[in-house]
Structure 1
């Protein structure tokens, strides 16, 4: 039990990612979600009832103005992240913003400057940095136990209309580069402590109604020569999710969600917990310890610069 009062949280968003945060928070001590800021009245009420959240509202600004809120978790649509993060920082709240922190480099730079001018904990939910298999690979690489030659990342969804990971309708259009590729671009740079990556890529045709490329491939190379190949599709019929093949000098390892297996399918030891619980736990710990978190806004800005380069190379803007 924590001797100090719990960290009082505002959760913004009532969709699939918000539910994953609530699942993670159930396993952590010293935090309480006291309010939900939703986008749809009926969905917000149902979400609050399901998770036992006492208060809910559709007015994000009014929720921020409450004096019983210490920190905010933004699990809202991607286009809202930058503006809502800026509002939360201005209101004096700690912020955990879902990936991506913004949908362009200019907004990311403004957010980082705003965060740097405050003592608030400002963190991006780069969950792969906390995922047990990727954390174990980071440890092995740092210890010289695993020499990465090629990271092959596959990201597959069926997003021919606006639906979330659970097949529920959504009011906004997802982004293959700034959201989904962001996970793997950040992962590769973080694993190797190398933000000066060589990058290239190409995008498939745009969907006639959604207006976004539905398929994409991205290549990256580190300064020491390690390679990464990213394949992403919104046209895939399953299985869905992110699949990572680590090809190294010593072994070939397969990471999926919170598991790591070798080439024979034998489970490998990884840190305890889930990626979401370890991530949200880091946010709470950084607040208590008054320190910068792993995946702070500033630590994730180099990834946003890489995405901006890819965006320009592929002619997306």
Structure 2
């Protein structure tokens, strides 16, 4: 039986709590947030034994075996380092960090400490893609093109729970991470590092800072591989229509999975897919099952470094045009928890 500490109780905190409530081999030990009455209410609703606002104290509790980090994106790397220092296994929500250096530092720290480090990359978990991936690995289909889109209206900082947040999303280091990692993972036949090793060129566009939000609001990244594959990620926080989908074109078929309608469409037509919500449950459950069985989690920290390196290249191009700086939701010092 593993005692779990959850940091953060927004949408992903809710989904992780739902996934583990009643799951074999796990006890919901503690939850940590910023507002104690809200944290206590969450603990009562989902069955956590303890609620608090001191993250350092919670992760160093000798009773805690593992920690799930579902706080603001900008705090993930610094929080993960604190958990690793405490010697606890950790599952970090996407992204693991918001610079390559911070992401790599977390991975190295976990490996040096012998601590399990899992990362939440839900597109790798989808059951609808297992058969397609098996065919790609067997050489029965070859990936030609992967296009991921994320469009949402986010001029006002309200998240998926409908509550105004005290932190800002970053379109490159959050939503584009999902899309590019998925493309590299498929291009590498289930190995993002293998996909990244075949990159021939990366082209990108991000506009300057929006005066209302203080952050870039649009992105387009195109990756070309030496195998003449293309991986394209596009998104905008200005869009009035909400779009979140991926299109995979292979030598044999096309597959478009709409995350919002839970529908997958191929040349044969459309059929239902598991919801984004249900798919997310698999992530925390895989983490616990890996911990209990002594195996690696499905998505390790090291396996996500290839996409973080590509994001760093895109960020460096933006920095060269607009000037490197801390912006809302992305402080340059990613490993200083006190500064976040």
Same fold per TM (> 0.5)?
Answer: yes
Partner residue, 1:256:
258
Partner residue, 1:44:
39
Partner residue, 2:328:
none
Partner residue, 2:337:
none
Equivalent pairs counted in the alignment come to: 309
Instruction: Please list, as runs of the form range in 1=range in 2, the aligned pairs for 1:24-63 lying within 5 A after superposition.
Output: 24-26=19-21, 28-63=23-58
Is 1:290 matched up with 2:291? no
Could you list the per-position Cα deviations for residues 83-114 of structure 1 after superposition, in whole angstroms to 9, with x for gaps in the alignment? 11000011010000001111111111211111
Structure 2 length-normalised TM? 0.85
| 2:21 and 2:47 in contact (8 A); partners too | no
| 2:18 and 2:46 in contact (8 A); partners too | no
| Shift of residue 145, structure 1, vs aligned partner | 3.1
Q: Assess, with a 3 A threshold, how the Cα gap between structure 1 residues 156 and 166 changes in structure 2: closer, same or farther.
A: farther
Partner residue, 1:247:
249
Structure 1 length-normalised TM? 0.91
Instruction: Please list, as runs of the form range in 1=range in 2, the aligned pairs for 1:107-256 lying within 5 A after superposition.
Output: 107-193=102-188, 194-196=195-197, 197=199, 198-240=201-243, 242-256=244-258
Runs of 4+ off more than 6 Å: none
Is 1:22 matched up with 2:17? yes
Q: Assess, with a 3 A threshold, how the Cα gap between structure 1 residues 304 and 91 changes in structure 2: closer, same or farther.
A: same
SS of aligned partner of 1:200: strand
Could you list the per-position Cα deviations for residues 113-153 of structure 1 after superposition, in whole angstroms to 9, with x for gaps in the alignment? 11111222111111111122344432231122332211121
User: Hey, what's the Cα distance between the residues in 2 that align with 1:169 and 1:15?
Assistant: 11
| Shift of residue 163, structure 1, vs aligned partner | 1.4
User: Hey, what's the Cα distance between the residues in 1 that align with 2:222 and 2:254?
Assistant: 19
Q: Assess, with a 3 A threshold, how the Cα gap between structure 1 residues 278 and 139 changes in structure 2: closer, same or farther.
A: farther
Q: Assess, with a 3 A threshold, how the Cα gap between structure 1 residues 298 and 157 changes in structure 2: closer, same or farther.
A: same
Q: Which runs of 5+ in 1 are unaligned?
A: 1-5
User: Hey, what's the Cα distance between the residues in 2 that align with 1:138 and 1:207?
Assistant: 39
User: Hey, what's the Cα distance between the residues in 2 that align with 1:255 and 1:224?
Assistant: 24
* Structure 1 stretch displaced more, 158-167 or 301-310: 158-167
Is 1:304 matched up with 2:303? no
Across the aligned residues of Structure 1 and Structure 2, the Cα RMSD in angstroms comes to 2.0
| 1:97 and 1:124 in contact (8 A); partners too | yes
| 1:262 and 1:268 in contact (8 A); partners too | no
Could you list the per-position Cα deviations for residues 163-213 of structure 1 after superposition, in whole angstroms to 9, with x for gaps in the alignment? 112321111111000111011111111112211323211013421032111
